[in-house]
Amino acid sequence: METKRYVFMFEEGSAKQKEMLGGKGANLAEMTRIGLPVPHGFTISTEACRRYIESGNQLFPGLMEQVWEALTRLEEKAGKRLGLREQPLLVSVRSGAVFSMPGMMDTILNLGLNDETVEGLAAATGDRRFAYDCYRRFIQMFGNVVMKMQHGAFERILERHKDAAGVEFDHLLDADQLVAIIANYKEHIRRATGQPFPLDPRQQLTMAIEAVFSSWNNPRAKVYRQTNGIPEHLGTAVNVQMMIFGNMGETSGTGVVFTRDPSTGHPGLYGEFLTNAQGEDVVAGIRTPKPIAEMSRDLPEAYRQLVDTCQLLEKHYGDMQDIEFTVEKGILFLLQTRTGKRTAAAAVRIAHDLVEEGKIDRAEAVRRIEPTQMTKILHRGIDPDAKLEAVARGLPASPGAATGQVVFDPDLAEKLGKEGQKVILVRPETTPDDIHGIIPAQGILTSRGGMTCHAAIVARGMGKPCVCGCEALRIDMDNETVAVAGRTIKAGDVVSIDGATGAVYIGEVPMVDPTLGEEFGAILRWADDLRHLGVRANADTPEDARKAREFGAEGIGLCRTEHMFMAQDRLPIVQEMILAETLDERQAALDKLLPIQQGDFEEILEAMEGLPTTIRLLDPPLHEFLPKVDELLAEIALLRGQGDYHAAAQREQVLRRARALEEANPMLGFRGCRLGIVYPEIYAMQARAIFQATVNLLRRGFRPQPEVMIPLVGHPNELLALRQLVEEVKAEVVRASGIEFNCPIGTMIEVPRAALVADQIAGTAEFFSFGTNDLTQTTFGFSRDDAEGKFLHQYLHRKVLEHNPFEVLDEEGVGQLIRLAVDGGRRTVPGLKVGICGEHGGEPRSIDFCHRAGLNYVSCSPYRVPVARLAAAQAALRNS
């Protein structure tokens, strides 16, 4: 004997039972519970659907008995009976999953009609045409959804009859014409399926329930679940509800209303309605719905009720609602309420306003906002209403949208940029050499590289749109063309990219401006009151530093000094330094760099006045500053061919050095503190530049707070040697200037050994900062430049890994090292200051981990600072 219950009357449930009743069912139950006018009905649970699917798409014993019992109760409430000619009950059968999947699964309306009941409906409504129109729609919907027949065949029959009757619109067909259409529909069903259209309403209901269960696994629902991360096993509930008719004349109608504007968040009802119509008419687009405000004139009493109900529902749920309603002969009925989907801008405005109106508290407002969505409102975006087709999709590497002419050559990008033209720099990948072309570009598009490739990091840092790893692009650099989707894009053609979605479009697209308003600022300040983690920015230039401050950064957690070496006016000097054969020659080059670096630091420290600024000494391998060996070979051959042997000989010297610096595994090679140990004069120059800049600012009345950070330390001795070096330089600057100042010297923890011996390293370090980009690559043994382009997408596709560990911090592996290092460090130095400056510092799930691991701050690119402020507050709320 089956005792488990699978079927629940609306009055038995509540909003808390979403898992069992689905979102729609739970909300219908809730509205019934609080006394709102909801047509009677019942819900078949999601569990029933799961059992149905597990049983090989078969109804299991006991289920339909429960359905018939519920039906009897529904009939009693409605005062109507399914299949009875007098006062026939008609029902809708709708899917309703736990997570809303709009339009993905099936719906059947007007169920219960047959050759008998249609006459009863005609008699009850006094409208024969109306009754037969419902019947026709029902057969068509049932044939299509339940009996899996093509929609088009029904449409063709309908068209034929309209032509014969000489009418343009469905509603101009009279009852007899509809009767003839119905006969043709039934005949068509019998011929096409070998089965008659079922006239028994109980058989109709059984078949409809099975169809809704099965629609959980239709292809569009599967795709929707995949793209929205909805688990496959949940199943859908089925709601069986008494039909209400919005098409019973001019005092009836139907519509959809949001309690606030879903695109801007403005208060006030937003939506549309149609008089004398059923739900399908609104979506079918045959008649244009009217703005909801006009309902106050057409259906005044129902409108007043609707306004009150909207307020009540919003207050009850504490959030903006998306409501479906129908008015039958002047009486309002609610068919659905759910939390309304909204744009990022509207989400902010609504959360803010609900607090002001006393409907939710500040913490709830902060909780409501999806941090990553916020990057969307800080950039220009593509108009969400535009109907556009992407020619290709790459990785959404840096949000924001951009349009411009395609340029392959960074020099040309620079030139056109100076002329004020808009360009999109298109390259297979970018390198530090391309920076001068990246700066003036509106956006960057590459065919290779992952979310942390050079282009992606640089673009995010600049808040510049970037799509990378767009493998569908066949970029031919020699001919300056891109082949994609059977088309060829040439230099100078206009393209658009959307760095928030990875989409690439040909031509211009309509854009919308970012709307960063007062409300956003207010919510971020509420977040600041809630969070424990500090938020700093990764910024390498004074502009970045200013931007970061504007977005609320409380300091710089990582200033990468190599980007300063890449600028056009410095690179030749840096190359001179690298090519130097003797210490004197190298020192001469460094002497030229010193004032330039000092100027950089002075500007950045000034921009960060009063806030800590962590400056990292040189990190990348030196060959990154030299041209590539291949390019040099080609250049030398060309110079020789032109007879310019002198220039060729000069380039050969560069070639020799480039070859000498070549490494099998550059990421594990001669970089980071290893450079500082072998060429102490480089680090000494940088330290001097930092300290002299500090002294200058102090003289000018500022309060600079520099912090020096040594990269890639794995052994305490590395840090010890370099710390001594930096301290000696500091002592010299203090002695020469007569000005004392404080400057903590700390280290990055970015190789596993450093994490393992963190207790020893802490004796020498005044702070730790986790470089989780390198720590991820060295912990996994993945080269980050290669992994993302080569195998990582396969790993993700095949679910070997759930997330890209360069995006979302790998808590089990890398996270364990971080915890170990925090513990070790604080065992030696209680209260040791610890932060993170890898890309994960701006990623909400990783920020949650940083909170739990007891870090003091996270540091991320300026445009992700607001994201981090919110995510840090949410982490505090979640883990409190």
CA 843 to chain centre: 11
Tell me, residue by residue from 737 to 766, as one string, x for binding to Mg ion by CB under 5 A and - for no binding: -------------x----------------
First CA to last CA distance, the chain: 46
Sign of the dihedral defined by the CA atoms of residues 342, 346, 350, 352, in that order: positive
Nearer to ligand PEP, 408 or 770 (CB): 770
Which of ligand PEP, Mg ion, none does residue 122 bind (CB under 5 to 8 Å by kind)? none
146 binds, among ligand PEP, Mg ion, none (CB under 5 to 8 A by kind): none
532 is catalytic: no
**359-367: Cβ within 8 A, 24+ apart:** 359/314, 359/315, 359/318, 360/318, 360/319, 362/526, 362/529, 362/530, 363/526, 363/530, 363/877, 364/318, 365/523, 365/526, 366/523, 366/526, 366/527, 366/530, 366/870, 366/873, 366/874, 366/877, 367/874, 367/877
Residue closer to Mg ion, measured from CB, 319 or 774: 774
- Compute the least distance from the CB of residue 569 to ligand PEP, in Å: 22
Which residue, 95 or 747, has its beta carbon nearer to ligand PEP?
747
- Are 789 and 428 contacting, i.e. CB atoms less than 8 angstroms apart? no
750/810 with CB nearer Mg ion:
750
Q: How far is the CB of 97 from ligand PEP (least distance, A)?
A: 40
Question: Which of residues 314 and 750 has its CB atom nearest to ligand PEP in the complex?
Answer: 750
Chosen from ligand PEP, Mg ion, none, partner binding at 837 (C-beta under 5 to 8 Å by type): ligand PEP
Q: Identify the CA nearest to 17 among candidates 7, 31, 27.
A: 27
Span interacting with ligand PEP, options 166-174, 368-376, 684-692, 771-779, rule CB under 6 A: 771-779
| Footprint (CB under 6 A) of ligand PEP, residues 825-844 | 837-838
701-740 footprint of Mg ion as x/- string (CB under 5 A) = ----------------------------------------
- Tell me which of 106, 774, 788, 811 binds ligand PEP, using CB under 6 A: 774
Catalytic residue among 40, 188, 379, 454: 454
Judged by beta carbon distances under 5 to 8 A according to partner kind, the member of ligand PEP, Mg ion, none in contact with residue 804 is none
Number of residues that bind Mg ion (CB under 5 A): 3
Of residues 20 through 79, those in contact with ligand PEP by CB under 6 A are none
133, 261, 519, 750: which one binds ligand PEP (CB under 6 A): 750
254, two tokens = 């139907």
Shortest CB 710 distance to Mg ion, Å: 11
**Which one, 136 or 560, has the nearer CB to ligand PEP?**
560
Q: Tokens at residue 396, please?
A: 């959404």
Alpha-carbon distance of 282 to 193, in angstroms, equals 31
Size of the site for ligand PEP (CB under 6 A): 10
For the segment 537-596, give every residue that binds ligand PEP (CB under 6 A). 558, 560
- Identify what 278 binds: Mg ion, ligand PEP, none; CB under 5 to 8 Å per kind: none
Instruction: Please enumerate in sequence order all residues whose Cβ is within 8 A of that of 533, keeping only pairs 6 or more positions apart, or say none.
Output: 847, 850, 851, 855, 856, 857, 858, 868, 872, 875, 876
Question: Nearest approach, Cβ of 394 to Mg ion (angstroms)?
Answer: 25
Q: Residue 772 binds which entry of ligand PEP, Mg ion, none, with Cβ cut-offs from 5 to 8 Å by kind? A: ligand PEP
CA distance 481 to 493: 10
Q: Which two tokens stand for residue 146?
A: 């339940």
Distances (CA, A) of 656 to 115, 360, 589, 590: 93, 68, 19, 21
The tokens describing 185, both together, are 């529909």
Look at residue 468 and give the partner it binds from Mg ion, ligand PEP, none, a contact being a CB closer than 5 to 8 Å depending on partner kind.
Answer: none
Which candidate, 853, 801, 686, 821, places its Cα nearest to that of 755?
Answer: 821
- Taking the least distance from each CB to ligand PEP, the nearer of 706 and 771 is 771
The distance of closest approach from Cβ of residue 679 to ligand PEP in the complex, given in angstroms and rounded to an integer, is 19
- Residue span 773-812 as binding mask against Mg ion, x where in contact by CB under 5 A, dash where not: -x--------------------------------------
Catalytic residue among 837, 850, 851, 860: 837
Q: Is 771 in the site for ligand PEP (CB under 6 A)?
A: yes
Q: 198 contacts which partner out of Mg ion, ligand PEP, none, CB within 5 to 8 A by kind?
A: none
Least spacing, CB of residue 451 vs ligand PEP, in Å: 12
Q: How far apart are CA 781 and CA 879, in angstroms?
A: 32
Q: Which residues lie across from 727 on neighbouring strands? A: none
Indicate whether 771 belongs to the interface with Mg ion (CB under 5 A): yes
The DSSP string of 97-151 is: ESS--TTTS-EEEEET--TTHHHHHHHHHT-HHHHHHHHHHHHHHHHHHTS---H
Q: C-beta of 529: minimal distance to ligand PEP in Å?
A: 29
Confirm if 723 and 745 have CB atoms less than 8 A apart: yes
Q: For residues 90 and 80, what is the distance between their CA atoms, to the nearest angstrom?
A: 9
Nearer to ligand PEP among residue 213 and residue 857 (C-beta):
857
Complex with ligand PEP: residue 446 or 779, whichever CB lies closer? 779
CB 309 within 8 A of CB 30: no
Q: Which is nearer to ligand PEP, 170 or 807 (CB)?
A: 807
Query: Could you identify the residue written with the tokens 């006016």?
Result: 569
DSSP code for 542:
H
Which pairs count as long-range contacts for 547-550, CB under 8 Å and 24+ apart, including other chains?
547/463, 547/862, 547/863, 548/862, 548/865, 549/607, 549/608, 549/611
454 binds ligand PEP (CB under 6 A): no
Spatial distance between the Cα atoms of 135 and 157, rounded to a whole number of angstroms? 15
Q: Which stretch binds ligand PEP (CB under 6 A): 256-264, 370-378, 633-641, 769-777?
A: 769-777
The residue ranges of DSSP E strands in 679-766, in sequence order, are: 705-710, 745-749
- Residue 322 near ligand PEP by CB under 6 A: no
Distance CA 427, CA 185 (A): 58
- Sheet strands (E) in 357-513: 381-382, 392-393, 395-398, 401-407, 423-427, 443-446, 466-468, 474-476, 481-484, 487-490, 494-498, 503-506, 511-512
Can 837 be counted among the known catalytic residues?
A: yes
Between residues 98 and 455, which has the closer beta carbon with respect to Mg ion? 455
| Residue 519 in contact with Mg ion, rule: CB under 5 A | no
Answer for which of 177, 447, 541, 772 binds ligand PEP (CB under 6 A) is: 772
In the complex, which residues of this chain contact ligand PEP (CB under 6 A)? 558, 560, 619, 750, 771-774, 837-838
Q: Which residues are catalytic?
A: 454, 837
In the complex, which residues of this chain contact Mg ion (CB under 5 A)? 750, 771, 774
